[in-house]
């Protein structure tokens, strides 16, 4: 822990030096394009390596004067959720490059430069991104900071806690974006914060959010209907990333590892997981795509269970992105089908 804090101090010091010596920097831009409401364009930008097919341009000095609001997102889910709300009025720069995992990401001086040029920063929160607040403060003290948990009203959170006994603690479980119900709160909040930053286009942000929320309500309805008739309502997951989804739809997750995909259970814990899975008639294991091979050789073999791939959207794929890669709702609809297979839903 001491070494990690020392590395963070050195990193921040390097950031300050870079900011002091660099005046103005290129910012990746995304040109306007026609798209379905609530869908993120495929060519949103990243603060590190850019998505394929992007150009580099200097950001406008201020928004609302013929330029776009410079929005910074930490990693992929927030790019996918903020983009449809901002529409053609924003340019989004994503901090994490393709292949980077938010669970162990360490920011670079280039990330500080991106934050320096931003007006508003959307990120998950301190549990998953302990570097975000300090880096933003040292890079750009005036940038607006927006976390997902900010979007959930206190009374709504208390109601969810009372309604779902296993509802996670939002200060400890960062995977809020995997619940369609919580995402509806977030999209409305994004519109509100963008409107504060850019009042001139406030009505457009509200209209974009309303179109996106309509798709999210349909997604929520699809999840409710999709889980209405299943052989079992219990599933194994590679690590604890589906607790919000499970709480919302009365499902029971059994996680093999902890909150981080890098966590490894002990032999005693693994034995208990196997026994619990057998007792609950588990029919499938839900994993992130890059975890499938290892699990296929271990616990899935032990239980003779199939493995189903679930896209958490945490890691930006490399190469050319398809339309489905840049649409939150489409990704979540595909995830629903994989979960239905894992629980043998009809």
pTM equals 0.81
Q: Check residues 46 and 266 and name the one with the higher pLDDT.
A: 266
Query: Is 102 inside any structural domain?
Result: yes
- Phi, psi dihedral angles at 73 (to 5 degrees): -120, 150
- Both 201 and 101 in a single domain? yes
- H helices present in 164-279, as ranges: 180-197, 202-226, 243-248, 267-279
**pLDDT for the residue numbered 262:** 61
Quick: pLDDT tens for 40-57. Answer: 443 345 443 332 222 222
Q: Identify the residue whose tokens are 């194994």.
A: 236
- Both 199 and 128 in a single domain? yes
* pLDDT at 225 > cutoff 90: yes
- Both 180 and 256 in a single domain? no
- Both 94 and 126 in a single domain? yes
- In the chain, % of residues over pLDDT 70: 76
- pLDDT band, very low/low/confident/very high, at 92 (cuts 50, 70, 90): very high
* pLDDT at 99 > cutoff 60: yes
**pLDDT for the residue numbered 263:** 64
Q: Check residues 123 and 267 and name the one with the higher pLDDT.
A: 123
Contact indicator for 72, 95 with CB cutoff of 8 Å: yes
- Both 307 and 214 in a single domain? no
Q: What is the DSSP letter of 290?
A: G
- Both 164 and 253 in a single domain? no
Query: Is 12 inside any structural domain?
Result: no
- Both 148 and 281 in a single domain? no
Mean pLDDT of the chain: 81
Q: Any idea which of 27-31, 82-86, 155-159 has the lowest mean pLDDT?
A: 27-31
**pLDDT for the residue numbered 293:** 59
Query: Is 133 inside any structural domain?
Result: yes
- pLDDT band, very low/low/confident/very high, at 249 (cuts 50, 70, 90): very high
- The tally of CA atoms less than 13 A away on the side-chain side of residue 214 is 9
**pLDDT for the residue numbered 268:** 84
Taking the C-alpha atoms of residue 201 and residue 206, their distance in angstroms, rounded to an integer, is 9
Q: How far is C-alpha 274 from the geometric centre of its chain's CA atoms?
A: 30
Q: Check residues 18 and 130 and name the one with the higher pLDDT.
A: 130
- Number of compact structural domains in the chain: 2
* pLDDT at 294 > cutoff 80: no
**pLDDT for the residue numbered 292:** 58
DSSP lists the bridge partners of residue 345 as 230
Element (H, E) at 91: strand 90-94
Give the CATH number of the domain where residue 291 resides.
3.40.50.1980
Quote the domain boundaries for residue 245.
230-342
**pLDDT for the residue numbered 139:** 96
- Per-residue pLDDT averaged across 95-99, rounded? 95
**pLDDT for the residue numbered 273:** 86
Quick: pLDDT tens for 189-215. Answer: 999 999 999 999 999 999 999 999 999
Query: Is 32 inside any structural domain?
Result: no
User: How many other C-beta atoms are found inside a 10 Å radius of the C-beta of residue 339?
Assistant: 25
Query: Is 72 inside any structural domain?
Result: yes
- Per-residue pLDDT averaged across 133-155, rounded? 95
* pLDDT at 230 > cutoff 60: yes
Quick: pLDDT tens for 312-342. Answer: 999 998 888 888 899 999 999 999 999 999 9
Taking the C-alpha atoms of residue 260 and residue 331, their distance in angstroms, rounded to an integer, is 21
Q: Of 177, 203, 223, which residue constitutes the final position of a domain?
A: 223
- In the chain, % of residues over pLDDT 90: 58
Alpha-carbon distances, residue 263 vs 7, 172, 238, 258 (angstroms): 22, 15, 10, 6
Q: Any idea which of 174-183, 249-258, 265-274 has the lowest mean pLDDT?
A: 265-274
Structure tokens at 149: 């948990």
Taking the C-alpha atoms of residue 58 and residue 76, their distance in angstroms, rounded to an integer, is 23
* pLDDT at 28 > cutoff 60: no
Contact indicator for 82, 93 with CB cutoff of 8 Å: no
Taking the C-alpha atoms of residue 257 and residue 277, their distance in angstroms, rounded to an integer, is 14
Q: Any idea which of 30-39, 195-204, 294-303 has the lowest mean pLDDT?
A: 30-39
**pLDDT for the residue numbered 14:** 42
């Amino acid at each position: 822990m001491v070494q990690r804090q020392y590395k963070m101090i050195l990193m921040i010091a390097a950031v300050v030096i870079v900011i002091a010596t660099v005046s103005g920097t290129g910012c990746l831009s995304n040109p306007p394009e026609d798209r379905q409401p609530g869908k993120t364009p495929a060519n949103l930008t990243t603060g590190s390596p850019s998505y394929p097919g992007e150009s580099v341009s200097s950001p406008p000095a201020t928004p609302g004067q013929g330029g776009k609001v410079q929005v910074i997102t930490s990693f992929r889910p927030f790019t996918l959720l903020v983009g449809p709300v901002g529409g053609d009025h924003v340019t989004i720069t994503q901090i994490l490059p393709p292949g980077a995992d938010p669970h162990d990401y360490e920011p670079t001086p280039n990330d500080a430069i991106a934050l320096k040029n931003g007006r508003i920063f959307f990120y998950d929160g301190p549990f998953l991104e302990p570097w975000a607040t300090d880096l933003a403060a040292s890079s750009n003290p005036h940038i607006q900071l927006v976390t997902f948990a900010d979007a959930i009203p206190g009374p709504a959170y208390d109601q969810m806690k009372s309604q779902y006994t296993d509802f996670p603690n939002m200060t400890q479980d960062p995977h809020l974006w995997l619940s369609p119900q919580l995402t509806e709160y977030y999209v409305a909040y994004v519109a509100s914060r963008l409107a504060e930053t850019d009042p001139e286009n406030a009505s457009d942000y509200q209209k974009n959010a309303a179109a996106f929320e309509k798709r999210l309500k349909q997604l929520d309805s699809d999840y409710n209907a999709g889980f209405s008739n299943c052989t079992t309502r219990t599933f194994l997951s590679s690590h604890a990333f589906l607790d919000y989804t499970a709480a919302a739809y009365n499902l029971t997750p059994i996680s093999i590892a902890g909150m981080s995909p890098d966590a490894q259970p002990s032999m005693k814990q693994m034995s208990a997981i196997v026994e619990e899975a057998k007792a609950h008639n588990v029919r499938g294991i839900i994993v992130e795509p890059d975890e499938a091979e290892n699990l296929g050789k271990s616990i899935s073999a032990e239980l003779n269970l199939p493995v189903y791939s679930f896209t958490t959207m945490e890691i930006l794929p490399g190469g050319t992105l398809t339309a489905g890669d840049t649409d939150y709702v489409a990704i979540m609809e595909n995830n629903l089908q994989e979960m239905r297979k894992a629980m043998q839903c009809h």
